[in-house]
Amino acid sequence: MKNRWQILSLAIALNAATSLNACASDSLKNAVREIKPDADNAGLTLPAGFGALKVAENTGRARHIAVTAQGDIYLKLMRVNKGAGIVRLRDKDGDGKTEENTGFGNYGGTGIVIKDNYLYASSDADVYRYKLNDKGEVINPDQPEKIITGLINRGMHESKSIALDNKGNIYVNIGAYSNACQEVDRTIGSKGQMPCPILDSAGGIWQFRADKLNQGYAQGVRYATGLRNVVGLDWNQQLDQLFVMQHGRDQLSYLYPDMFTEKQSAELPAECLYALKQNDDAGWPYIYYDQLQQKKILAPEYGGDGKKEGGSKAINPTMAFPGHLAPNGLLFYTGNQFPSKYKNGAFIAFHGSWNRSPLPQEGYYVVFVPYENGKPTGKWEVFANGFAGVETVNSTRQAQHRPCGLAQGPDGSLYVTDDVKGTIYRIIYNGK
């Protein structure tokens, strides 16, 4: 197999390299027709007309993903694998499967984004950028510019996910190193700290310049606060606005068994999609959003009882999803390959829960949120399911794959990463 790829890729490199690259965008529409979904759609269940293939497997713990205009794939690995924290995958023969796998960047992390000829990538404390050449290749893989440094990393909610706007700013999630800002984290009977000191340096989104070196907290702006932990975030081009998916708090019935049943604790609180403006406060840790009552509820650590409302100044979510599904990827779809209903709607990769026992776990799928006129229609649907590979996940380790990062390819394909086994999925539309 490997030999065949090598011969094939050599032949293509010799004969067609220039033409492939030069007319990449012209041939993309044709190319996608040649790309065939796997016979089993990569194990996924999809809406009619869609297919999926495994682009690559065993790439490492692939978190977020970026695809260049030429179709190269960059993955950010949670942990350095064979000396590399960033992997580049290249499909040399245009069949959709990648044959070449090269790596650089000796740090683990989550964030990776391409914007205006730069590749941005984050460790759990710093953000780097790499200049790309006109083929979308990193010019100096060993000499990135360190643009942001010294962000707090206490080994919990440590991912520094990133997104960029169109004015030269970069937005970084700094997750709270706590569940609910108790005096002692996750401990029964421990009160909420008032005010929560974590919010000074975490529990929000910070804004920095994309082109300045070595920016620390002093050079950044706390753009939005009261966000416990955001892993999936995206800049919505149509609305020119930052959207984030918050991971809601855990362990309501563990910490307050007299107030919450196990079932309530499995469903609550909501995983929230927020549309952010500067200085917004989403209310963590003082409140959480209850999607069943559709209210902001005072957290029990701060005197709540599951019913008392709170957070009059806190923003409301744009959409609220069931609890603990763990939204790790957010992408507003701007491509033309999928049917028009998908344009400007949101895809969300739900990593899957752990905090629902003794009830079965939930998530492990990619969801689609339709938008009309810049607003979600209010309904959401499971778009791609089957990553877990088992009917029911009772214990999180049973899930064979867990969706994490999302990216849109230049032809409008949707890429999904899996950070368990490092499988990279590509979802295409081939219906009429």
Partner 1 sequence: MSKELFTELSTMANKKKLFFGAGAAIIMLMTAFRAEPVQQPVAVKASAERGKQVYVKRCMACHQADGGGVPHLNAPLDGASAVTGKDKAKLIKIVLNGMTDRVEIDGEFYSNNMPGNKDLTDAEIADVLTYVRTGWSNKSSAVTVAEVKAVRTKK
Binding site for partner 1 (CB under 8 A): 61, 78-79, 155-158, 178-179, 184-189, 250-251, 254, 257, 354-355, 357-358, 394-398, 402, 420
In whole angstroms, the minimum distance from the beta carbon of 156 to partner 1 comes to 5
Task: Report how far residue 327's alpha carbon sits from residue 83's, in angstroms, rounded to the nearest whole number.
Answer: 28
The nearer residue to partner 1, 68 or 178, going by C-beta atoms, is: 178
Q: Is 316 exposed, middle or buried (0-12, 13-18, 19+ CB in 10 A)?
A: middle
Task: Report how far residue 337's alpha carbon sits from residue 296's, in angstroms, rounded to the nearest whole number.
Answer: 39
The nearer residue to partner 1, 175 or 386, going by C-beta atoms, is: 175
The nearer residue to partner 1, 397 or 432, going by C-beta atoms, is: 397
In whole angstroms, the minimum distance from the beta carbon of 15 to partner 1 comes to 44
In whole angstroms, the minimum distance from the beta carbon of 328 to partner 1 comes to 12
Tokens 């929000």, residue? 204
The nearer residue to partner 1, 5 or 354, going by C-beta atoms, is: 354
In whole angstroms, the minimum distance from the beta carbon of 255 to partner 1 comes to 9
Q: Exposed e or buried b for every residue in 239-263, given b needs 16+ CB within 10 A?
A: eeebbbbbbbbbebbebbeeebeee
Task: Report how far residue 167's alpha carbon sits from residue 23's, in angstroms, rounded to the nearest whole number.
Answer: 29
Q: Is 299 exposed, middle or buried (0-12, 13-18, 19+ CB in 10 A)?
A: buried
- Are 98 and 57 in contact by the 8 Å Cβ rule? The answer is no
The nearer residue to partner 1, 231 or 427, going by C-beta atoms, is: 231
Q: Is 10 exposed, middle or buried (0-12, 13-18, 19+ CB in 10 A)?
A: exposed
> Tokens in use for 265?
């604790």
Task: Report how far residue 145's alpha carbon sits from residue 376's, in angstroms, rounded to the nearest whole number.
Answer: 38
Q: Is 4 exposed, middle or buried (0-12, 13-18, 19+ CB in 10 A)?
A: exposed
The nearer residue to partner 1, 366 or 420, going by C-beta atoms, is: 420
Q: Which amino acid is at 230?
A: V
The nearer residue to partner 1, 347 or 364, going by C-beta atoms, is: 364
In whole angstroms, the minimum distance from the beta carbon of 247 to partner 1 comes to 12
In whole angstroms, the minimum distance from the beta carbon of 395 to partner 1 comes to 4
In whole angstroms, the minimum distance from the beta carbon of 365 to partner 1 comes to 17
Q: Which one, of 424, 427, 371, lies nearest residue 50 by Cα?
A: 427
In whole angstroms, the minimum distance from the beta carbon of 80 to partner 1 comes to 12
The nearer residue to partner 1, 17 or 188, going by C-beta atoms, is: 188
